[in-house]
């Protein structure tokens, strides 16, 4: 089953609780007061694809301050999914950055060590088979306020080079 989805932002806020819920909890009425549209918005689709990880999630993003996305990463980490995160050296300490919190929770995070001006990628690979890439940084502004795009694909000809590049960057930025 080929997956090809293109997601555009900004995106209206809607409730994503059902994406995190499992079993009986997912059948309870939600008390949040937000929109529960039946048609998925772009952000819900992004979360859905990330939360589909069963084995691994590799995240390579310039900036990571979106609290819902860090909740998703922690959720996967807690469930035993092997999460790895690479971020930019200069942007890992910006206001609202989730990196410190992820590290405290035990998620392995590496930052660009080379003299590259910026590690400017914005992509993630789910279970080594599904790629999410585009212009969207993992921030609140990107999701809610910017004009942005994301492509989601499981075309092996596209996914394989990104998987390889993640592995190269992961090894090249080993602080040990």
**Rule CB under 5 A: which residues touch Zn ion?**
15, 17, 30, 32
Q: CA–CA separation, 48 vs 91, rounded Å? A: 26
Q: CA–CA separation, 81 vs 126, rounded Å? A: 10
Nearer to a second copy, 29 or 175 (CB): 175
Query: Which strands form 130-134's sheet, in the order they lie side by side?
Result: 109-111, 82-87, 56-61, 122-126, 130-134
Footprint of a second copy on residues 81-120 (CB under 8 A)? 112, 114, 116-120
Active-site residue flag, 122: yes
Binding mask 128-157 for a second copy (x = CB under 8 A): -----xxxx----xx--xxxxx-x-x-x-x
Q: How far apart are the first and last CA of the chain?
A: 40
State both tokens at 5.
């989805």
Catalytic residue among 122, 154, 155, 174: 122
User: Minimum Å distance from CB 18 to Zn ion?
Assistant: 7
User: Minimum Å distance from CB 9 to a second copy?
Assistant: 9
Footprint of a second copy on residues 60-79 (CB under 8 A)? 62
Q: Quick check: 58 and 84 in contact, CB under 8 A?
A: yes
Least Cα distance to 134 among 164, 99, 162 occurs for: 162
Binding interface with a second copy (CB under 8 A): 4, 6, 8, 10, 62, 112, 114, 116-123, 133-136, 141-142, 145-149, 151, 153, 155, 157-158, 161-162, 165, 169
């Amino acid at each position: 089953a080929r997956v090809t989805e293109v997601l555009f932002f900004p995106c209206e806020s809607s409730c994503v609780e059902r994406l995190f819920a499992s079993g009986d909890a997912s059948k309870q009425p939600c008390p949040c007061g937000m929109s529960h549209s039946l048609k998925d918005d772009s952000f819900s689709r992004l979360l859905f694809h990330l939360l589909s990880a069963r084995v691994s999630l590799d995240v390579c993003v310039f900036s990571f301050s979106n609290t819902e996305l860090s909740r998703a990463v922690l959720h996967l980490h807690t469930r035993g999914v092997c999460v790895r995160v690479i971020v930019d050296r200069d942007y890992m300490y910006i206001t609202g950055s989730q990196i410190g919190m992820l590290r405290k929770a035990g998620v392995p995070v590496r930052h660009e060590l080379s003299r590259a001006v910026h590690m400017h990628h914005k992509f993630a690979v789910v279970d080594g088979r599904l790629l999410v890439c585009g212009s969207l940084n993992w921030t609140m502004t990107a999701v809610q306020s910017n004009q942005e795009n994301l492509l989601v694909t499981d075309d092996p000809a596209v996914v394989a080079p990104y998987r390889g590049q993640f592995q190269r960057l992961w090894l090249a930025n080993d602080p040990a």
